[in-house]
């Protein structure tokens, strides 16, 4: 007996014609849907381009396209972005993905055989070993699809985690409508389950009708077939059921294909496209303003201001809620959820430039009208800490942070911002620092040291030490700055500082949307630093570190920049810094967002801690999953706007550390973290449970510097504009 089967078995010629007509209709609707989407994306007039490492020349561009294609294929095929901290649902999604792909390929192979190879070339390959292996593959992957869908359905319906419940952080219950999303999710999962299950039943009924030995190569269908025969469904009865079910399954499958551009299934197209068109430095290197930008060109105020690839990203959102779960603003009761922000923007984009405009129906939104205030509230945009947790976890590569930043730029341009933030901008503009201190006080911390610190503008040195505002002016941080200076002196490091010529680096100014002020600060710093003679820069402020290292090169300042944790490790490795004793302490370490997630500096601080003998106990959220202290993105300069009864992100972080058990020190490596977490230890009521240490303070203790620490009173009082 020939090992194959007859396609269209039992179908009359008119039925076959009808089937091909339906295929044509399905494909036409799908194509029209894709065309309307492309038209919508092309309506975006923004110019945000994805930035890649190798561009410029045609060869460079070709290389970057090849690299981008390879990266997209890797991300999609390995599911690496979906599997991040996803647990069982990552495996379930892989089952759905590979099951769907293999079944779709199976249908494609069948169409190739029936509609091309056999009628045009008389070539028949769908039999024998090929057919048997084909049957086995489709059964195994069909099972993976079904199990994956059932697991995802159970997760959504029974486990129902917070991230999937659509409750909004910025609206009172009843003040918004999410039923459409819930129905859409279930229709998507339900229709796929229906197709998977009816596919197996169809196979079982076919086998029950014919019952040939080699049908066991489709083991699940064969088992079902035996079951059907067991209940008396065989022969002509099975044939009748098969005929009816074939049509039901086929019509639903074609409807599913036609609906892809209009339903949740769209992410199957836009997800990979979003990854492919992603900006490799999104959020970490913000785009410059266009040269000679007018007020209307500063930031985004209307949906039409978005770039085509950004509009495409909005459509890629699967509503998985991972960003919602990771966001410290959401967790801290602030009126922001990155998921809801994306969904609001997507609704506006669709209502303004989507299908309605293709059908010449009046749009729901004017593409050129302002979206700031309604539906995108300014307090939502000002709640962001630019921590990048959302961008890092989003499985489809949505870049929330640059979008928020663009809208903040427009708010700043319109003067729509927190009064405290506005005052801080003015202070920085006038004094060059956020503390409103006289520039000459920037290096007062040097006066308490038992040795002189070089003025690098006048003398060359191996290292230029860029301080940053908190390390220069805040009294608690000044003591740490002095400790670091002593450690470097002890290790014989040749360093100098800029004294009163240093200005705020502009990292948070930029993230808060004041691009003009950032530009002027950066240009001043670049000009000053360029006039100095040094080999490398270091800083203990991760915000300054990030901007000097990654954002100043675009303004002409390209240097090697180290964080002090990297420098301290180097000094240990060169044996110029030696731990006299191993500290007998249990510590945990908090990864600052701008050092860790932004720059991947995770191991140097941990290695330094190992070298001084402390026992490092990791918090559950560590390294790229670190949880922001709440200060980033300019939030440290704004009023606290959290909901009553919700603990601040910094307090939640201290709770997390205390929950580890007997941890003595909460170790940080950022001046703002020192301020934020010392406050949080007090306000969270954990003063007796844990103490804060900056990493260099522990190093100083290990190398025997503690007794030499300068006094607190040696530097000026703090005049912080924050409160």
Taking the C-alpha atoms of residue 442 and residue 425, their distance in angstroms, rounded to an integer, is 18
Nearer to ligand SF4, 75 or 323 (CB): 323
Verify binding: residue 338, ligand SF4, rule CB under 6 A: yes
Residue 300: strand, helix, or coil: coil
Verify binding: residue 75, ligand SF4, rule CB under 6 A: no
**Choice from 287, 321, 506, 542 touching ligand SF4 (CB under 6 A):** 321
Element (H, E) at 665: strand 665-668
Stretch that binds ligand SF4, among 153-161, 338-346, 406-414, 695-703 (CB under 6 A): 338-346
Stretch that binds ligand SF4, among 252-260, 384-392, 482-490, 607-615 (CB under 6 A): 384-392
Taking the C-alpha atoms of residue 667 and residue 649, their distance in angstroms, rounded to an integer, is 17
- Kindly state the tokens that stand for 111: 């169409």
Strands 495-497, 454-455: pairing kind? parallel
Verify binding: residue 312, ligand SF4, rule CB under 6 A: no
Verify binding: residue 317, ligand SF4, rule CB under 6 A: yes
**Choice from 276, 401, 456, 487 touching ligand SF4 (CB under 6 A):** 401
Name 496's bridge partners.
454, 464
Verify binding: residue 692, ligand SF4, rule CB under 6 A: no
Verify binding: residue 286, ligand SF4, rule CB under 6 A: no
**Choice from 92, 345, 387, 461 touching ligand SF4 (CB under 6 A):** 387
Taking the C-alpha atoms of residue 149 and residue 199, their distance in angstroms, rounded to an integer, is 14
Minimum Å gap between C-beta 593 and ligand SF4 is 8
Verify binding: residue 36, ligand SF4, rule CB under 6 A: no
Minimum Å gap between C-beta 141 and ligand SF4 is 25
Stretch that binds ligand SF4, among 185-193, 389-397, 480-488, 609-617 (CB under 6 A): 389-397
Centre a 10 Å sphere on the Cβ of residue 410 and count the other Cβ atoms it contains: 24
Stretch that binds ligand SF4, among 23-31, 102-110, 293-301, 321-329 (CB under 6 A): 321-329
Minimum Å gap between C-beta 342 and ligand SF4 is 5
**Choice from 196, 202, 323, 681 touching ligand SF4 (CB under 6 A):** 323
In whole angstroms, how far apart are CA 148 and each of 32, 58, 98, 141?
A: 30, 43, 10, 10
DSSP one-letter string for 495-521 = EEE-GGG-----HHHHHTT-HHHHHHH
For the chain, the distance separating the N- and C-terminal CA atoms, rounded to the nearest angstrom, is 86
Q: Given phi > 0 = left and psi -120 to 50 = alpha, else beta, which region is 388?
A: left
Phi, psi of 526 (to 5 degrees): -60, -45
Nearer to ligand SF4, 204 or 335 (CB): 335
* Own/partner long-range contacts of 237-241 (Cβ < 8 Å, ≥24 apart): 238/205, 238/206, 238/208, 238/209, 239/10, 239/209, 241/205
**Choice from 208, 298, 394, 587 touching ligand SF4 (CB under 6 A):** 394
Cβ atoms of residues 280 and 51 within 8 Å? yes
Verify binding: residue 597, ligand SF4, rule CB under 6 A: no
Nearer to ligand SF4, 454 or 511 (CB): 511
Minimum Å gap between C-beta 628 and ligand SF4 is 6
Stretch that binds ligand SF4, among 152-160, 303-311, 336-344, 552-560 (CB under 6 A): 336-344
C-alpha radius of gyration, the chain, whole number: 31
Taking the C-alpha atoms of residue 95 and residue 196, their distance in angstroms, rounded to an integer, is 12
Stretch that binds ligand SF4, among 104-112, 197-205, 334-342, 584-592 (CB under 6 A): 334-342
Verify binding: residue 521, ligand SF4, rule CB under 6 A: no
Nearer to ligand SF4, 382 or 495 (CB): 382
Stretch that binds ligand SF4, among 131-139, 302-310, 315-323, 365-373 (CB under 6 A): 315-323
Stretch that binds ligand SF4, among 154-162, 324-332, 499-507, 516-524 (CB under 6 A): 324-332
Verify binding: residue 201, ligand SF4, rule CB under 6 A: no
For helices 128-154 and 179-210, the axis angle rounded to 10 degrees is 150
Minimum Å gap between C-beta 580 and ligand SF4 is 41
Which residues, numbered 171-190, are part of the site for ligand SF4 (CB under 6 A)?
A: none
Nearer to ligand SF4, 145 or 326 (CB): 326
Verify binding: residue 138, ligand SF4, rule CB under 6 A: no
Name 33's bridge partners.
none
Taking the C-alpha atoms of residue 39 and residue 43, their distance in angstroms, rounded to an integer, is 6
**Choice from 68, 322, 543, 564 touching ligand SF4 (CB under 6 A):** 322
DSSP state of 302: B
Verify binding: residue 380, ligand SF4, rule CB under 6 A: no
Verify binding: residue 512, ligand SF4, rule CB under 6 A: no
Cβ atoms of residues 432 and 441 within 8 Å? no
Nearer to ligand SF4, 389 or 521 (CB): 389
- Kindly state the tokens that stand for 385: 């800490």
Which candidate, 199, 697, 261, 633, places its Cα nearest to that of 411?
633
Minimum Å gap between C-beta 340 and ligand SF4 is 9
Cβ atoms of residues 106 and 118 within 8 Å? no
Verify binding: residue 328, ligand SF4, rule CB under 6 A: yes
Verify binding: residue 389, ligand SF4, rule CB under 6 A: yes
Minimum Å gap between C-beta 93 and ligand SF4 is 12
Verify binding: residue 631, ligand SF4, rule CB under 6 A: no
Stretch that binds ligand SF4, among 231-239, 313-321, 533-541, 699-707 (CB under 6 A): 313-321
Verify binding: residue 400, ligand SF4, rule CB under 6 A: yes
DSSP one-letter string for 101-148 = HHHHHHHHHHHIIIIIIHHHH----SSHHHHHHHHHHHHHHHHHHHHH
Q: Is the dihedral of CA 443, 445, 447, 451 positive or negative?
A: negative
Which candidate, 513, 371, 517, 501, places its Cα nearest to that of 443?
501
Q: How far is CA 113 from the centre of its chain?
A: 43
Burial of 19 (0-12, 13-18, 19+ CB in 10 A): middle
Nearer to ligand SF4, 408 or 606 (CB): 408
Verify binding: residue 326, ligand SF4, rule CB under 6 A: yes
**Choice from 339, 408, 409, 546 touching ligand SF4 (CB under 6 A):** 339
Nearer to ligand SF4, 176 or 194 (CB): 176
Minimum Å gap between C-beta 380 and ligand SF4 is 9
Cβ atoms of residues 338 and 324 within 8 Å? yes
Angle at 705 between CA 703 and CA 709, to 5 degrees: 155
Verify binding: residue 320, ligand SF4, rule CB under 6 A: yes
Give residues with Cβ within 8 angstroms of 130, minimum separation 6: none
Verify binding: residue 485, ligand SF4, rule CB under 6 A: no
Stretch that binds ligand SF4, among 114-122, 317-325, 454-462, 656-664 (CB under 6 A): 317-325
Taking the C-alpha atoms of residue 568 and residue 604, their distance in angstroms, rounded to an integer, is 8
Verify binding: residue 269, ligand SF4, rule CB under 6 A: no
Q: Note the residues at the interface with ligand SF4 (CB under 6 A).
A: 317-323, 326-329, 336, 338-339, 342, 384-390, 393-396, 398, 400-401
């Amino acid at each position: 007996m020939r090992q194959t089967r007859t396609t269209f078995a039992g179908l009359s010629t008119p039925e076959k014609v009808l089937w091909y007509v339906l295929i044509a209709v399905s494909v036409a609707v799908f194509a029209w849907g894709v065309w309307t989407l492309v038209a919508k994306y092309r309506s975006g007039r923004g110019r945000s381009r994805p930035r890649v490492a190798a561009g410029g020349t045609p060869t460079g561009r070709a290389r970057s396209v090849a690299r981008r294609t390879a990266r997209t294929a890797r991300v999609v095929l390995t599911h690496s972005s979906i599997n991040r901290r996803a647990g069982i649902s990552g495996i379930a999604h892989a089952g759905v993905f590979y099951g769907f792909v293999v079944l779709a390929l199976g249908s494609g192979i069948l169409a190739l055989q029936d509609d091309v190879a056999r009628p045009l070339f008389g070539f028949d390959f769908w039999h024998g070993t090929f057919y048997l292996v084909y049957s086995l593959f489709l059964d195994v992957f069909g099972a993976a699809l079904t199990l994956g869908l059932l697991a995802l359905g159970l997760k959504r319906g029974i486990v129902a985690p917070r991230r999937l419940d659509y409750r909004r952080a910025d609206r009172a219950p009843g003040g918004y409508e999410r039923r459409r999303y819930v129905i859409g999710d279930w229709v998507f999962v339900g229709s796929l389950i229906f197709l998977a299950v009816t596919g197996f039943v169809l196979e079982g009924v076919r086998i029950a009708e014919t019952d040939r030995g080699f049908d066991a190569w489709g083991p699940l269908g064969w088992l079902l077939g035996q079951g059907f025969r067991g209940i008396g469904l065989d022969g002509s009865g099975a044939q009748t059921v098969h005929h009816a079910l074939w049509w039901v399954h086929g019509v639903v499958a074609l409807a599913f294909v036609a609906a892809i551009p209009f339903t949740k299934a769209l992410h199957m197209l836009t997800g990979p496209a979003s990854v492919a068109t992603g900006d490799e430095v999104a959020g970490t290197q913000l785009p410059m303003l266009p040269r000679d930008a007018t007020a209307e060109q500063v930031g985004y105020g209307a949906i039409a201001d978005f770039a085509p690839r950004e509009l495409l990203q909005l459509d890629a959102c699967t509503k998985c809620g991972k960003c919602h779960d990771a966001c410290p603003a959401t967790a801290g009761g602030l009126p922001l959820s990155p998921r809801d922000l994306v969904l609001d923007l997507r609704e506006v984009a669709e209502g303004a430039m989507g299908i309605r405009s293709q059908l010449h129906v009046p749009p729901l939104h004017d593409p050129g009208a302002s979206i700031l205030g309604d539906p995108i509230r300014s307090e939502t945009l000002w709640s962001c800490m630019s921590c990048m947790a959302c961008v890092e976890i989003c499985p489809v590569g949505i870049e929330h942070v640059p979008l928020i930043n663009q809208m903040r730029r427009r708010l700043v341009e319109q003067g729509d911002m927190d009064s405290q933030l506005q005052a801080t901008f003015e202070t920085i503009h006038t004094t060059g620092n956020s503390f409103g201190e006289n520039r000459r006080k920037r290096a007062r911390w040097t006066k308490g040291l038992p040795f002189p610190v070089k003025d690098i503008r006048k003398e060359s040195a191996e290292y230029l030490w860029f301080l940053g505002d908190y390390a220069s002016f805040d009294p608690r941080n000044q003591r740490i700055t002095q400790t670091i200076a002593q450690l470097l002196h002890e290790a014989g490091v040749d360093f100098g500082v800029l004294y009163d010529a240093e200005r705020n680096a502009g990292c948070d100014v930029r993230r808060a949307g004041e691009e003009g002020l950032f530009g002027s600060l950066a240009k001043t710093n670049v000009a000053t630093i360029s006039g100095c003679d040094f080999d490398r820069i270091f800083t203990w402020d991760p915000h300054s570190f990030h901007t000097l290292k990654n954002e100043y090169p675009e303004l002409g300042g390209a240097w090697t920049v180290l964080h002090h944790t990297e420098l301290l490790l180097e000094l240990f490795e060169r044996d110029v810094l030696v731990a006299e004793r191993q500290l007998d302490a249990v510590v945990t370490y908090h990864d600052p967002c701008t050092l860790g997630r932004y720059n991947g500096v995770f191991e140097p601080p941990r290695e330094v801690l190992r070298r001084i003998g402390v026992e490092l106990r990791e918090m559950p959220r560590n390294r790229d999953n670190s949880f922001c202290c709440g200060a980033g993105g300019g939030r440290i300069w704004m009023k606290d706007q959290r909901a009553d009864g919700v603990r601040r992100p910094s307090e939640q972080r201290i709770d997390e550390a205390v929950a580890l058990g007997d941890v003595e020190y909460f170790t940080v490596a950022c001046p703002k973290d020192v301020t934020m977490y010392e406050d949080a230890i007090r306000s969270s009521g954990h003063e007796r449970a844990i103490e804060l240490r900056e990493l260099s303070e522990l190093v100083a203790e290990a190398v025997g510097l503690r007794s030499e620490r300068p006094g607190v009173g040696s530097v000026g009082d703090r005049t912080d504009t924050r409160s």
